[in-house]
Structure 1
């Protein structure tokens, strides 16, 4: 499955690069024709050209490495054979988010490199949700299948252009709500369990770094203001999750240290003076 996702990410990246090169005349993938002349010619290099090139490079790298986003989480679930501490509803809700944000950008005609990572990560979310079938005893196949069919039914019209006009106009606001709900479900579960279970720190760090980088590219490319607010919301909620993971790690470390100290104290008490 991961190999298929990797091949898909490479293909969509190459397709997007080809389309961009044909429509905007890019050279060596990251340089526009004017910037290429400035970087490698005698033309004076402008700040705008440097900013555009950095922004495009970041966007392409985000798409290329999107396959690695959920890999730590997938491997951690396989290793522990458990989804404890991971909210199925949070992942399921956020999957709608990735689907809607893709439909929204297609509707708006946004360049693929500004949202392509959402397509890749959305497919990885499908893999994570599939793992719940094997490692979550509270979720049966019929429940999972119903949610999968419902997801396909809701999203198919958006991608084939059959959805009503107002849906596309409201998609970004729907995504803001979905993002808040998805992250809130996971944050609430963490608070309820007082730990983050099998939630992967590396995956959350990648999400956070990606949202920071995406925010830079959006400001540089003068993207839709509503989309900027959505990415900023992603940054804030991601920060809360990272704080929760850090607090869990600190609490477990303190607990282990106290256990070691208590074990050492008991061992010392068991030693008799005539044994020294």
Structure 2
């Protein structure tokens, strides 16, 4: 078997060496030395890291599709996504500027970009028809400018300051999940929150704890991933508990009332308004019949309301 593994095409060897290094490639692939624990652990870490980066590139895509298809960001917390995006961006800048392997932080690059788009969509699409604002262009412009300023700042601040910011991502991760957790609990629904994204984040945090310990050994990064794992597990439990439920309230308004208001908004105003007056037709629950088969009241159940 070693006669085959030692004669793999050049491009396969180059790829293997690029992933696990010359020493571990020779030990694990060419010599098939599966008892080399250090190289085996390193290879597993690299494989997990690459898988997380690839998964991170599409992790939030289902969430994006849910918002766009529903044309609503109902159930999503703007505060939670702003804080989560900032935490991703800080970790990305901290890892990049410290020269860590891309396989240990690459998903943060893709998650930051996807979260920025989701945040802008939450601003663009109201969480409810009742909260729709007439002009959201200034809000979108302000959010875009602040995002650009934050990116430039993280790229240029001193490393000592960036390390302090990385430490701040631990409470930042906590505060980024709590608004979403509270909103889910209050509404008894997860709204447009994507189950795929939540499950992927749980799996990603578990894998990141392993890869960080195996390749980087940075306590700050490990602590952040551990806290994120715990909070994502809470979101996962809420997804399971509220699965298939649309919630009873949104912004303190009962679901049935909110639905009636939203349906009324779809009716053109000229279809039910005439000269500043509104026609309200009230049907009796059960009109009483007389002995001649007529209702006791011959009046029409309608009145004009100014």
- Give the TM-score normalised by the residue count of structure 1: 0.75
The structure-2 alpha-carbon separation of the partners of 1:38 and 1:166, relative to structure 1 and needing over 3 Å to count, comes to closer
How far did 1:26 drift?
6.4
Conserved 8 A contact 1:26-1:32: no
Matches within 5 A, 1:48-59: 48-59=38-49
Which residue number in structure 1 is paired with residue 242 of structure 2?
A: 248
Of 10, 28, 31, the match for 1:39: 28
Which residue is equivalent to 1:170?
Answer: 164
Instruction: Give the structure 2 partner of residue 207 of structure 1.
Output: 201
Task: Give the number of the structure whose residues are more often helix, by fraction.
Answer: 1
Tell whether 2:142 aligns with 1:146.
yes
Q: CA deviation at 1:28?
A: 5.3
Which has the bigger relative contact order, CA under 8 A and spacing at least 6?
1
Match of 1:117 in 2: 107
CA displacement, residues 69-114 of structure 1 (integer Å, 9 cap, x when unaligned): 0011111112222110011121111111111111111232222211
Give distance in 2, aligned partners of 1:165 and 1:36: 34
SS of residue matched to 1:244: helix
Question: C-alpha separation between the residues in 2 aligned to 1:243 and 1:171?
Answer: 30
- Most deviating of 126-135 and 83-92: 126-135
**Structure 1 residue runs of 4+, over 4 Å off?**
none
Q: Given the two structures, how large is their TM-score scaled by the length of structure 2?
A: 0.68
Query: Does residue 158 in structure 1 map to residue 154 in structure 2?
Result: yes
For structure 1, the 5+ residue unaligned runs are: 1-24, 253-276
Q: What is the CA distance between 1:250 and its match in structure 2?
A: 6.7
8 Å CA contact 1:38, 1:44 repeated in 2:
yes
User: Counterparts of 2:115 and 2:27 in 1: how far apart (Å)?
Assistant: 41
Q: How far did residue 52 of structure 1 move?
A: 0.5
Report the Cα distance in structure 2 between the residues aligned to 1:209 and 1:237, rounded to whole angstroms. Answer: 13
Match of 1:179 in 2: 173
C-alpha displacement of 1:248: 0.5
Cα drift, residue 67 of structure 1: 1.9
Bigger mean CA deviation after superposition, 124-133 or 221-230: 124-133
Alignment partner of 1:232 is 2:226: yes
**Pair 1:190-2:179 in alignment:** no
- Alpha carbons 2:100, 2:216 under 8 Å: kept: no
1:181 Cα deviation after fit = 1.1
**Is the radius of gyration larger for structure 1 or structure 2?**
2
d(CA) in 2 for partners of 1:250, 1:135: 22
In the alignment, the residues of structure 2 paired with residue 165 and residue 66 of structure 1 have an alpha-carbon distance, to the nearest angstrom, of: 26
How many Å separate the matches in 1 of 2:166 and 2:198?
Answer: 23
Structure 1 residue 174: Cα displacement: 1.5
- Consecutive unaligned residues in structure 2, runs of 5 or more: 1-13, 247-306
1:34 positional shift: 1.0
For residue 266 of structure 1, what is the aligned residue in structure 2? none
* Residue 90 (str. 1) matches residue 80 (str. 2): yes
Q: SS at 1:68's partner residue?
A: coil
